[in-house]
Amino acid sequence: MADRFAIILAAGKGTRMKSPRPKVLHEIGGRSMLAWSVALAKDLGCKRTVVVVGPDMPLLSEAAAKFVGAENVVIQRDQLGTANAVDAARAALKDADGHAIVLYADTPLVPKEAGVRAFAEIEKGASICVLGFIAKLPNRYGRLVTDGNGSLNAIVEANDADELQLRIELANSGVMAAPVKLMFDLLGQVRNDNAKGEYYLTDLVGLARERSLQASVAHCDERDVQGVNSQVELAQVERVFQDSVREQMMAAGVTLPAPETVYFSYDTKIAAGVTIEQNVVFATGVSVESGAVIRAFSHLEGAKVGPGALVGPYARLRPGAVIGKDAHIGNFVEVKNVTIGEGAKANHLSYLGDGEIGAGANIGAGTIFCNYDGFFKYRTIVGEGAFIGSNSSLVAPVTIGVGGYVGSGSVIVEDVPADALAIARGRQAGKAGWARTFRDAKSAAKKAGNKPKGAV
């Protein structure tokens, strides 16, 4: 099989986004649109990926360099159309020998299967393959003009199409594959005698056909190639992504009673047999094993949830949270960089940061792992079967031994031995009749108009 290459066009200014962030660095499913395209090129087995950016785009150039290397980031100095943009990659790919695919960084959801089909057409002998789709409202798209055998004869931009061509429903996605050397050869012949005065990549089809070369169409769904040029379209593509993942999750055996309220990231991993209740958000880096239940209004990021675990409602799992088998993390509990052992429970109103909780331990309501001194983070270790009473503060670094108990309301600053009880609070004192005397004195002062010093 010939080597594969990718050219990702990312030079658009994105002015309609009205955002200081470069358009293609906006995210879909927790991953930038540029990263989606780079990942697609990798999935397609591309030997080298070149990203074309515009001038004066330092943030985008820096981001692209992290993905593909600075030597593979090229600048389209004069933004004169898509053919001009692809031609900017000529020098970077001057020694390339194989097949190239042109992708668009603002069209993030092109599936691998579509790219595979495009390359397959080239490998079967087509000189150019264009990814096309049946458009519900084709007016804004270029039309793919085919013959009776389905071969592609030309691509006509909507602004240049005649009345008959505008009736064609098969639309151009912009994604194109061709042998590298042929692509750049044809690019040298593209002219700008069109309604916009730009150099269109789509003209390569007509130029190839003039040489009696074959052009073909690989088909995909319209939602696979939906582009982003505004915040509204960004939200629309996010919705496409979320709906697709929800369908995949349910088809794989994940229970979603209200799927439209659950949000996933591109890398979320949920096993069959998991139940996810309403209004749950999965940020990046989350995996959930079978039998777990994620209850309503929970937020998870960078966390692993073990089999049979119960999380929420209203729980927050932050990066580094590892929830063991059958463990419980309840309402308004926040876990960050803590491993929770099998069957351990923290059911109410706690912050657990940087540490380890042993199997079967119980963390009472209002427990705080005091892990930060303003400069450094420290770990708290709670042994197996330990019991932490409600409203306790464990000041790290500190260890509660296996089976140890901490009395409610304690502030623990020293290690607690195994099976020991630690109580660290002021001793309760009682003064009989004090409350009555206090109320009587204050009532009399108020009646007489005598405000104590400092009263308002």
Q: How high is the pLDDT of residue 454?
A: 85
Residue 41 DSSP label: H
Q: How high is the pLDDT of residue 101?
A: 98
| CA distances (Å), origin 48, targets 11, 41, 68, 189, 415 | 19, 8, 8, 25, 55
Q: Distance (Å, rounded) from C-alpha 158 to C-alpha 154?
A: 13
Classify the phi-psi angles of 129: left when phi > 0, otherwise alpha if psi is within -120 to 50, otherwise beta. Answer: beta
Q: What is the dihedral of CA 353, 400, 390, 413, to 10 degrees?
A: -80
Dihedral pair phi/psi, residue 10, rounded to 5°: -140, 25
CB 322 within 8 A of CB 342: no
Task: Please name the residue that has the structure tokens 């496409």.
Answer: 240
Annotated catalytic residue, options 26, 99, 328, 348: 348
Specify the DSSP element, H or E, that contains 242: helix 231-251
* Radius of gyration of the chain measured on its C-alpha atoms: 31
User: How many angstroms from the chain centroid is the CA of residue 107?
Assistant: 15
In 26-90, which ranges are E strands?
A: 27-28, 31-32, 48-53, 73-75
Q: How high is the pLDDT of residue 136?
A: 86
Other Cβ atoms closer than 10 A to 227: 17
Q: How high is the pLDDT of residue 453?
A: 85
Q: How high is the pLDDT of residue 305?
A: 98
Domains of the chain in start order, with CATH, are 3-225 (3.90.550.10), 231-422 (2.160.10.10)
Q: Distance (Å, rounded) from C-alpha 425 to C-alpha 254?
A: 47
pTM, two decimals, is 0.92
Q: Strands 345-357 and 362-363: what pairing?
A: parallel
Residue 6 DSSP label: E
Q: How high is the pLDDT of residue 22?
A: 96
C-alpha angle 315-318-323 in degrees, rounded to nearest 5: 70
Residue 26 among the catalytic residues: no
135: amino acid identity, one letter = A
Burial of 407 (0-12, 13-18, 19+ CB in 10 A): middle
Residuewise pLDDT in 10s, the chain (456 residues): 899 999 999 999 899 999 999 999 999 999 999 999 999 999 999 999 999 999 989 999 999 999 999 999 999 998 899 999 999 999 999 999 999 999 999 999 999 999 999 999 999 999 999 999 999 887 788 999 998 788 999 998 888 888 888 889 999 999 999 999 999 999 999 999 877 889 999 999 999 999 999 999 999 999 999 999 999 999 999 999 999 999 999 999 999 999 999 999 999 999 999 999 999 999 999 999 999 999 999 999 999 999 999 999 999 999 999 999 999 999 999 999 999 999 999 999 999 999 999 999 999 999 999 999 999 999 999 999 999 999 999 999 999 999 999 999 999 999 999 999 999 998 889 999 999 999 999 999 999 989 888 888
